[in-house]
Amino acid sequence: MKRVVIFASGSGSNAENLIKFFHNSDTASVIQVLTNNPHAKVLDRCKKLNVSALSFNRIAFSKSEDVLNILKAAQPDIIVLAGFLWKFPEFILKEFNNKVINIHPALLPKHGGKGMFGMNVHNAVVHNKETETGITIHYVNENYDEGAVIFQAKCSVLPTDSVEDVAEKIHLLEMEHFPLIVNKLLK
């Protein structure tokens, strides 16, 4: 069985979707969820789903090797950032070369970079009167949202769409595609 570790900072709907997908899989399972936010809803979801979850602070993540050591012990085949908002330290990326992927709620290179997450991204899409948007799944490198693209899926944006409408379309694309792409990468 392949081993999946997820990093998330907030609600964790993608984390939950991945956990449920791999519950019924003989390819892989989600063995650990890690969060920088001790109040994140993702922790409640993991409790309900019986998946081990831990929160960590900045010192553990990037000023020491505590999180690195947790990862080394977990021996993940893939590390999935699912709504994770901190920059991933280079010294961890080095240990897990080409094994860290992220999902971004826009068609990169559009609407990426520091501060571009969640509703900020959908706001920009509506504000710029874009006619389409989508999701990008990509490898993580030392710069925000700049690693090689693995997969994109698009949806249309209507002139009448609100920011919430766009968020809902993106959510549906993420639910549909993210587990399938992670699964494909593991095979």
Identify residues 107-136 at the interface with ligand GAR (CB under 6 A): 116-118, 121
Site for ligand GAR in 27-66 (CB under 6 A): none
Residue closer to ligand GAR by CB (options 66, 177) is: 177
**For the chain, how many residues are written?**
187
Q: How far is the CB of 12 from ligand GAR (least distance, A)?
A: 5
Question: Would you count residue 82 as binding ligand GAR (CB under 6 A)?
Answer: yes
Sole binder of ligand GAR in the list 12, 76, 147, 179 (CB under 6 A)? 12
Q: Can residue 89 be called a binding residue for ligand GAR (CB under 6 A)?
A: no
Strand partners, 53: 33
105 binds ligand GAR (CB under 6 A): yes
Q: Does 14 bind ligand GAR (CB under 6 A)?
A: yes
Q: How far apart are CA 7 and CA 93, in angstroms?
A: 13
Contact (CB, 8 A) for 120 and 85: no
Q: Do 78 and 101 contact (CB within 8 A), yes or no?
A: yes
Closest CA to 53 of 62, 42, 63: 42
Q: Give whichever of 14 and 133 is closer to ligand GAR, judged by the CB atom.
A: 14
